[in-house]
């Protein structure tokens, strides 16, 4: 049965909330929040299609809520509620991505029609996102295995284990292709209709992990207005990919262990046991053995997960694969940007083969995306490659660069690398980074702007894809 779309009404004024609810409840499932804070909690738990959002509220303002939602979700349409004299703010909200606005003097029929249109648009844009994804799928899916012996071994291994349901643990530095490999294993293990369900454990608020993984019954906790299926259930007869497994809290680790041992789950607030038939692939960039030693990770769970361990090598240990990867990404971005870049010169390949690639394949892909996007040439030579890639490590220049301003350039490169590494260590938490580096946050932000420090495009894409399609 198709569920009714969910509308969330956010207003501190009870009478407005009730009036809007009365208009909308015939056709929609209506939720109400009294403040921005409450609204932000609800969208984490419920799948809201359209939100009616008051601009002026005590606590966090409607515009801030709008910003936060637009940052985190691609597919919630927002209609602002405003009084006539604040229409200019509503216009600003539209520039920030709101769908439209209504004034508090609204007319019943108009508002119903507007909400209908927003729901329609929301459905359409979801389909568009889906189509877009389909089109990009070929390149997103093509995994370059390469010729490095260890990659060949990994390839043989995954082909051998494709048909057995054993749990797989993939480890490796950031950007080495853990998620890509997990998807590849899924593709060669199941037919195309079987689900592949990703859970990025690090991005889910702690108190929601269990209900996300195992689902919840209606009324299981405040805010659980509807029953919700957990990721394990969604992955039935397919693969569940638990990313950043090292981030799982100790108490949830015990629950996961039980699921693996017994092969069944219980929804939060439910009593039924549900049998599971799921291949589990876990991944992490941290050293789980160390985490076991420091008692941050349960030993019993570690052994349950580590049935088939796969360790992906960093790119600096796969130098022979760099030309193959470069060709693949040139192809990919030629298509995307309608360019005709042909290749890297041998010298250009040499330059990037001597760089240390702390962000691994993702960083290489990001560089090539940038080069293909901006270049008008067909052949990429060393001078097209940004200067920071000409250094094999923080100090030694690979190609000799001469002339004025070199000291400053070298210092900038050093500083940029240093800041990037510091940021990566704490997952781009700028406040923590500033503290670790012993500089004020404002200085860090200034330096990041001046030195052009930003998260790689690959990471941004990840963020975008983090939300699973609705059921």
Ligand X SMILES: Nc1ncnc2c1ncn2[C@@H]1O[C@H](COP(=O)(O)OP(=O)(O)OP(=O)(O)O)[C@@H](O)[C@H]1O
Binding residues vs ligand X (CB under 6 A): 143-144, 172, 174-180, 285, 328, 361-362, 365, 458
The site that binds Mg ion (CB under 5 A) totals a number of residues, namely 2
Smallest gap, in angstroms, from Cβ of residue 302 to ligand X?
A: 18
Residue of closest CB approach to Mg ion: 179
**391 DSSP assignment:** B
Smallest gap, in angstroms, from Cβ of residue 439 to ligand X?
A: 26
- Whether the Cβ atoms of residue 349 and residue 322 lie closer than 8 Å to each other: yes
Helix (H) or strand (E) run with residue 171 in it: strand 168-171
A 10 A CB-CB count for 190 gives 17
For residue 180, the partner it binds in ligand X, Mg ion, none, with Cβ less than 5 to 8 A by kind, is ligand X
Q: Please list, in sequence order, all residues whose beta carbon lies within 8 angstroms of the beta carbon of residue 337, skipping any fewer than 6 positions away.
A: 372, 373
Which residues are registered as beta bridge partners of 380? 344
Q: Please list, in sequence order, all residues whose beta carbon lies within 8 angstroms of the beta carbon of residue 135, skipping any fewer than 6 positions away.
A: none
Judged by CB under 5 A, which stretch of 151-159, 175-183, 270-278, 346-354 contacts Mg ion? 175-183
Query: CA 218 → CA 5, 226, 256, distances in Å?
Result: 17, 5, 22
Task: Give whichever of 217 and 369 is closer to ligand X, judged by the CB atom.
Answer: 369
Smallest gap, in angstroms, from Cβ of residue 459 to ligand X?
A: 7
Task: Give whichever of 34 and 200 is closer to Mg ion, judged by the CB atom.
Answer: 200
Reference 3, options 332, 362, 470; nearest CA is 470
For residue 238, the partner it binds in Mg ion, ligand X, none, with Cβ less than 5 to 8 A by kind, is none
Smallest gap, in angstroms, from Cβ of residue 458 to ligand X?
A: 4
Task: Give whichever of 99 and 241 is closer to ligand X, judged by the CB atom.
Answer: 241
Could you give the CA distance from residue 169 to residue 175 in angstroms, rounded to a whole number? 16
Judged by CB under 5 A, which stretch of 85-93, 178-186, 362-370, 442-450 contacts Mg ion? 178-186
Task: Give whichever of 75 and 179 is closer to Mg ion, judged by the CB atom.
Answer: 179
Smallest gap, in angstroms, from Cβ of residue 198 to ligand X?
A: 10
Smallest gap, in angstroms, from Cβ of residue 200 to Mg ion?
A: 8
Task: Give whichever of 179 and 412 is closer to ligand X, judged by the CB atom.
Answer: 179
Could you give the CA distance from residue 170 to residue 283 in angstroms, rounded to a whole number? 5
- Whether the Cβ atoms of residue 277 and residue 270 lie closer than 8 Å to each other: no
Reference 40, options 56, 16, 62; nearest CA is 62
Task: Give whichever of 179 and 415 is closer to ligand X, judged by the CB atom.
Answer: 179
When asked if residue 179 is in the footprint of Mg ion (CB under 5 A), the reply is: yes
Task: Give whichever of 118 and 281 is closer to Mg ion, judged by the CB atom.
Answer: 281
Judged by CB under 5 A, which stretch of 179-187, 191-199, 310-318, 420-428 contacts Mg ion? 179-187
Long-range CB pairs of 350-353, under 8 A, 24+ apart, other chains included: 351/382, 351/385, 351/389, 351/390, 351/398, 351/399, 352/322, 352/326, 352/385, 352/389, 353/319, 353/322
**347 DSSP assignment:** H
For residue 285, the partner it binds in ligand X, Mg ion, none, with Cβ less than 5 to 8 A by kind, is ligand X
Q: One symbol per residue from 21 to 50: x for binding Mg ion (CB under 5 A), - otherwise; what is it?
A: ------------------------------
Binding site for Mg ion (CB under 5 A): 178-179
């Amino acid at each position: 049965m198709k569920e009714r779309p969910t509308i969330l009404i956010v207003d501190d004024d009870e009478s407005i909330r009730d009036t809007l609810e009365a208009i909308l409840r015939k056709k929609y499932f209506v939720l109400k929040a009294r403040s921005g804070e409450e609204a932000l909690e609800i969208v984490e738990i419920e799948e809201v299609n359209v939100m009616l959002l008051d601009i002026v509220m005590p606590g966090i303002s409607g515009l801030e809520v709008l910003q936060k939602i637009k940052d985190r979700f691609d597919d919630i349409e927002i209609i602002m509620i405003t009084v006539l004299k604040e229409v200019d703010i509503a216009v600003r909200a539209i520039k920030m991505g709101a769908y439209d606005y209504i004034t508090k003097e609204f007319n019943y029929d108009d508002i119903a029609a507007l909400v209908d249109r927003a729901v329609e648009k929301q459905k359409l844009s979801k389909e568009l996102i889906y189509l877009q994804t389909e089109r990009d799928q070929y390149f997103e899916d093509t995994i370059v295995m390469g010729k490095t012996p260890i990659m060949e071994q990994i390839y043989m291994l995954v082909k051998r284990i494709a048909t057995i349901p054993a749990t797989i643990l993939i480890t490796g530095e950031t950007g080495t292709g853990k998620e890509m490999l997990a998807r590849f294993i899924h593709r060669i293990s199941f037919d195309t209709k079987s689900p592949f369900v990703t859970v990025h454990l690090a991005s889910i608020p702690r108190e929601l992990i269990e209900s996300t993984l195992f689902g919840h019954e209606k009324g299981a906790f405040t805010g659980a207005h509807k029953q919700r299926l957990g990721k394990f259930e969604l992955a039935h007869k397919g693969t569940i990919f638990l990313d950043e497994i090292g981030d799982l809290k100790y108490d949830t680790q015990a629950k996961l262990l039980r699921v693996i041992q017994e092969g069944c789950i219980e929804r939060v607030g439910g009593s039924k046991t549900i049998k599971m038939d799921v291949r589990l692939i876990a991944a992490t960039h941290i050293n789980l053995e160390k985490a076991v030693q420091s008692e941050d990770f349960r030993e019993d769970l570690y052994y349950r997960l580590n049935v088939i361990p796969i360790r992906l090598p960093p790119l600096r240990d796969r130098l022979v694969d760099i030309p193959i990867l470069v060709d693949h990404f040139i192809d990919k971005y030629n298509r995307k940007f309608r360019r005709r870049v042909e290749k890297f010169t041998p010298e250009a390949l040499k330059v990037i083969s001597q760089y240390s690639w702390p962000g691994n394949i993702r960083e290489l892909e990001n560089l090539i995306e940038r080069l293909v996007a901006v270049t008008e040439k067909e052949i990429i030579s060393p001078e097209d490659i940004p200067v920071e890639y000409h250094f094999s490590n923080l100090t030694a220049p690979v190609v000799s660069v001469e002339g004025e301003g070199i000291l400053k350039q070298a210092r900038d490169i050093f500083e940029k690398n240093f800041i990037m590494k510091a940021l990566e260590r704490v997952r781009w938490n700028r406040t923590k980074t500033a503290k670790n580096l012993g500089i004020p946050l404002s200085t860090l932000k200034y330096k990041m702007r001046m030195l052009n420090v930003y998260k790689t495009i690959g990471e941004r894409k990840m963020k975008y894809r983090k939300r699973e399609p609705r059921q």
